[in-house]
């Protein structure tokens, strides 16, 4: 082992530690890797930043835009809704259809995008079929992962190994090169889940979590009436004349202000005095906002802890009054509603508190509660830094809640589907489908390189108005792009200092005597183990060069080896943090860590067995 090898190993070990602990954001870790490789002298600047111009990176970015257009024009949602109608309410049939549908969708768009599209619909189906969502959401997630492994563009690892083959002077994988093995894996996964896996799924019904319930059911489940009361503002209260934001009432007390009841100030002539006195004694209802100015005699309907009422009333000179039955019914009506939001992997809210994100002023809704899967303590919605998979219960005007559906990159909105129809460019759906079909044809025929075909499709979708340029930017998961571009130089460094060759020789000497299938099985197990704690991108960047070097040392074709590790990188079944789609459904299904391992480990072993049997058939050594 040389000094250069130890330096690169040290950088790699630090990166893996940060990837697994997530003390620092993954994209920042990848950036740090690039900088450390430059500062250590392992790579020069051109080598270290070469990942940003890699065709695989450009292809992935363009495919995010294609996926964004499929979402924005309603193509994905329309396809999923129509096919799901045939599933009925039988659990086994639902699992079969659900996994098949999402596997097809995820073969041409991102796994996260497909799960985000189907998650609200699956919640409604579970409720209408009287099933626990936990019976359907792990199959949803696993189906997306299986589908991503079935085409060249289904998942980044497939593109990365294909580009590595091209750079090494071998024929790269074609669009459908992964499809024969992928279809067998999908079929095997669906059959396993139908006959055996669903019996291993949990039955979570009674614990707090997320479901596509009606507003009244949400209000009841979150026990909102129990924490409601009124605060009457006296004329000498320091709140009089201040805006809600300037007063600091919400920030310092933790109260959530739901409504402002303001006394009507009307004057009258004597003939109508009795009637107008009744009007004068009534209150008008105002929706609170950060700039709402509080007035004397205002009555605030608030949500807060009972034990803090006395201190709040004394400090702000307020009179406490119990909430009425009318107050409880006003939490949701034809104009005002409640819904749940699940944070998505690339949400701009992750790592911020609601105050830092200016959530109330940005979206014009009030956050009533925050739920985090498996959290042991009660979380303060205003002061807690948000994480992937967190669920927010929000209240506001229905039109503002529906408008939040457009923020696809930040969260998924769950609620009554007829109320929360997404604003999409449905008229552009045929154009989107045509451009998608042309892109696939270009990739299959190889008239132009895969990266060029994806970039042409992305540009065409913007020019034809299927999505705007701003929406195209928002549809790209920039964290994933930086992760790929930042980690690709690590594979260059591993190869440059001789670690790839050393690992290949060690692997070959220990398993090579048993034949190439045994080596391929070892690589599959190593990759699938790594991908449970690292992203599939980081995993494939580290292991694919070793697989390529092993194939060369054994004098066999590299294609089966690289396809094996690419498939294994997508088999992220055994952990909720192995893939963003697993994390995304964790709160909605009320899953625990062990729930994934119980179903996921057998799925990985089945994928291993299937791959070892069929890969040598389709890709002889």
What DSSP assignment string belongs to 136-199?
THHHHHHHHHHHHTTSTTSSHHHHHHHHHHHHTTSPPP-TTTTHHHHHHHHHHHHHHHHHTGGG
Same domain assignment for residues 118 and 186:
yes
CB atoms within 10 A of CB 58: 21
What confidence score (pLDDT) does residue 542 get?
84
Residue 119 has pLDDT above 70, yes or no: yes
Same domain assignment for residues 310 and 360:
no
The answer to the question of residue 584 being in a domain is yes
Residue 81 has pLDDT above 70, yes or no: no
Reported as a pLDDT band with limits 50, 70 and 90, residue 279 is very low
Average pLDDT over residues 7-21: 83
Query: Where among 313, 329, 345 does a domain terminate?
Result: 329
**Residue of 432 and 211 predicted with greater confidence:** 432
Query: Where among 385, 414, 443 does a domain terminate?
Result: 414
What confidence score (pLDDT) does residue 523 get?
92
The answer to the question of residue 421 being in a domain is no
The answer to the question of residue 521 being in a domain is yes
- Supply the range of the domain harboring residue 377: 336-414
Average pLDDT over residues 406-426: 60
Question: Strand order in 228-233's β-sheet?
Answer: 283-286, 256-263, 299-303, 228-233, 318-322
The answer to the question of residue 152 being in a domain is yes
The answer to the question of residue 133 being in a domain is yes
Q: Which residues contact 351 (CB under 8 A, 6 or more apart)?
A: 25, 385, 386
Tell me the pLDDT of the chain averaged across its residues: 80
Same domain assignment for residues 352 and 321:
no
> Does residue 105 contact residue 117 with C-beta atoms inside 8 Å?
yes
Supply 418's token pair: 């007829």
Same domain assignment for residues 458 and 398:
no
Residue 442 has pLDDT above 80, yes or no: yes
Same domain assignment for residues 109 and 258:
no
Of 238-247, 365-374, 400-409, where does mean pLDDT reach its minimum? Answer: 400-409
Same domain assignment for residues 201 and 323:
no
Reported as a pLDDT band with limits 50, 70 and 90, residue 266 is low
Cα-trace Rg, the chain: 28
Query: Where among 277, 306, 329 does a domain terminate?
Result: 329
Reported as a pLDDT band with limits 50, 70 and 90, residue 612 is very high
What confidence score (pLDDT) does residue 535 get?
77
Among candidate residues 294, 304, 404, the one with its CA nearest the CA of residue 347: 404
Supply 11's token pair: 């950088």
What confidence score (pLDDT) does residue 220 get?
66
Same domain assignment for residues 394 and 273:
no
Same domain assignment for residues 193 and 314:
no
Most confident of the ranges 11-20, 344-353, 541-550, 609-618? 609-618
DSSP structure string for 185-213: HHHHHHHHHHHTGGGTS----SSS-----
3-state secondary structure of 388: coil
Among candidate residues 68, 34, 61, 51, the one with its CA nearest the CA of residue 156: 61
What confidence score (pLDDT) does residue 80 get?
62
**Residue of 193 and 256 predicted with greater confidence:** 193
Q: Where are the alpha helices (DSSP H) in 325-394?
A: 325-329, 359-363
Same domain assignment for residues 470 and 390:
no
> Does residue 372 contact residue 588 with C-beta atoms inside 8 Å?
no
**Residue of 244 and 143 predicted with greater confidence:** 143
The answer to the question of residue 182 being in a domain is yes
Please state at what angle helix 558-570 crosses helix 593-618, rounded to 10 degrees. 160
Reported as a pLDDT band with limits 50, 70 and 90, residue 207 is very low
The answer to the question of residue 501 being in a domain is yes
Percent of the chain, pLDDT > 70?
Answer: 85
Percent of the chain, pLDDT > 90?
Answer: 15
What confidence score (pLDDT) does residue 617 get?
92
Among candidate residues 92, 86, 87, 89, the one with its CA nearest the CA of residue 198: 92
Domains contained in the chain, number: 3
Among candidate residues 515, 516, 543, the one with its CA nearest the CA of residue 528: 543
The answer to the question of residue 353 being in a domain is yes
Reported as a pLDDT band with limits 50, 70 and 90, residue 420 is very low
Residue 192 has pLDDT above 90, yes or no: yes
Most confident of the ranges 223-227, 591-595, 599-603? 599-603
Residue 167 has pLDDT above 90, yes or no: no
Alpha-carbon gap, residue 256 to 251, rounded angstroms: 9
Residue 464: how many CA atoms within 13 Å on its side-chain side?
21
Q: What is the CATH number of the domain that holds 234?
A: 3.30.70.1450
pTM given for the model: 0.70
Same domain assignment for residues 353 and 308:
no
Same domain assignment for residues 130 and 111:
yes
Residue 561 has pLDDT above 90, yes or no: yes
Residue 458: how many CA atoms within 13 Å on its side-chain side?
24
Supply 24's token pair: 């620092």
Residue 255 has pLDDT above 80, yes or no: no
Same domain assignment for residues 256 and 187:
no
């Amino acid at each position: 082992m040389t000094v250069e090898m130890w330096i690169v190993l040290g950088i790699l070990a630090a990166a893996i530690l940060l990837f697994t602990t997530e003390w620092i954001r993954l994209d920042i870790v990848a950036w740090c890797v690039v900088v450390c490789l430059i500062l250590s002298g392992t790579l020069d600047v051109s080598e270290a930043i070469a990942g940003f111009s890699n065709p695989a990176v450009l292809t992935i970015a363009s495919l995010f835009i294609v996926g964004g257009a499929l979402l924005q024009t309603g193509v994905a949602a329309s396809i999923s809704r129509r096919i799901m109608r045939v599933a009925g309410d039988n659990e086994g049939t639902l699992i079969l259809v659900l996994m098949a549908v999402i596997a097809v969708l995820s073969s041409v768009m991102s796994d996260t995008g497909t799960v985000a599209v189907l998650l609200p619909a699956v919640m409604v189906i579970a409720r209408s079929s009287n099933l626990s969502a936990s019976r359907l959401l792990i199959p949803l997630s696993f189906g997306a992962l299986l589908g991503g492994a079935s085409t060249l563009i289904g998942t980044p690892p497939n593109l990365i190994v294909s580009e590595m083959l091209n750079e090494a002077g071998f024929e790269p994988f074609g669009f459908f090169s992964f499809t024969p093995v992928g279809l067998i894996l999908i079929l095997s996964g669906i059959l396993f889940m139908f006959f055996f896996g669903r019996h291993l799924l949990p039955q979570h019904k009674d614990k707090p979590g997320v479901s596509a319930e009606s507003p009244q059911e949400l209000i009841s489940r979150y026990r909102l009436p129990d924490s409601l009361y009124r605060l009457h503002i006296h004329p000498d209260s320091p709140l009089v004349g201040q805006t809600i934001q300037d007063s600091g009432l919400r920030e310092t007390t933790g109260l959530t202000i739901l409504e402002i009841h303001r006394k009507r100030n009307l004057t009258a002539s004597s003939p109508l005095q009795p009637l107008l006195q009744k009007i004068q004694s009534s209150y008008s209802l105002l929706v609170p906002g950060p700039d709402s100015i509080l007035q004397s005699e205002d009555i605030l309907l608030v949500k807060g802890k009972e034990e803090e009422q006395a201190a709040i009333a004394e400090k702000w000179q307020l009179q406490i009054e119990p909430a009425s039955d009318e107050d409880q019914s006003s939490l949701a009506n034809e104009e005002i509603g409640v819904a749940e939001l699940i944070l998505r992997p690339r949400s701009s809210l992750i790592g911020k508190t609601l105050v830092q994100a200016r959530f109330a002023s940005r979206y014009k809704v009030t956050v009533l509660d925050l739920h985090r899967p498996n959290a042991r303590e009660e979380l303060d919605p205003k002061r807690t830094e948000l994480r992937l998979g967190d669920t927010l219960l929000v209240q506001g005007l229905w039109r503002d809640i529906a408008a939040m559906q457009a923020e696809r990159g930040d969260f998924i909105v769950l609620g009554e589907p007829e109320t929360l129809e997404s604003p999409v460019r449905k008229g552009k759906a045929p154009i989107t489908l045509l451009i998608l079909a042309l892109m696939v044809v270009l990739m299959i025929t190889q008239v132009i390189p895969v990266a060029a075909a994806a970039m042409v499709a992305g540009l065409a979708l913007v020019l034809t108005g299927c999505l705007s340029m701003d929406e195209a930017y928002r549809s790209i998961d920039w964290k994933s792009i930086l992760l790929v571009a930042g980690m690709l130089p690590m594979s260059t460094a591993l190869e440059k200092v001789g670690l790839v060759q050393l690992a290949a020789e060690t692997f070959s000497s220990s398993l090579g005597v048993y034949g190439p299938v045994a080596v391929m099985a070892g690589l599959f197990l190593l990759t699938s183990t790594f991908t449970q704690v690292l992203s599939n991108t980081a995993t494939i960047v580290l292991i694919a060069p070793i697989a390529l070097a092993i194939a060369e040392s054994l004098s066999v074709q590299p294609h089966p080896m690289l396809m094996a590790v690419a498939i294994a990188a997508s088999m992220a079944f055994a952990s909720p943090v192995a893939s963003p789609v697993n994390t995304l459904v964790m709160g909605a299904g009320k899953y625990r860590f062990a729930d994934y391992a119980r179903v996921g480990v057998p799925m990985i072993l089945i994928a291993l067995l299937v791959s070892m049997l069929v890969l040598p058939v389709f890709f002889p050594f």
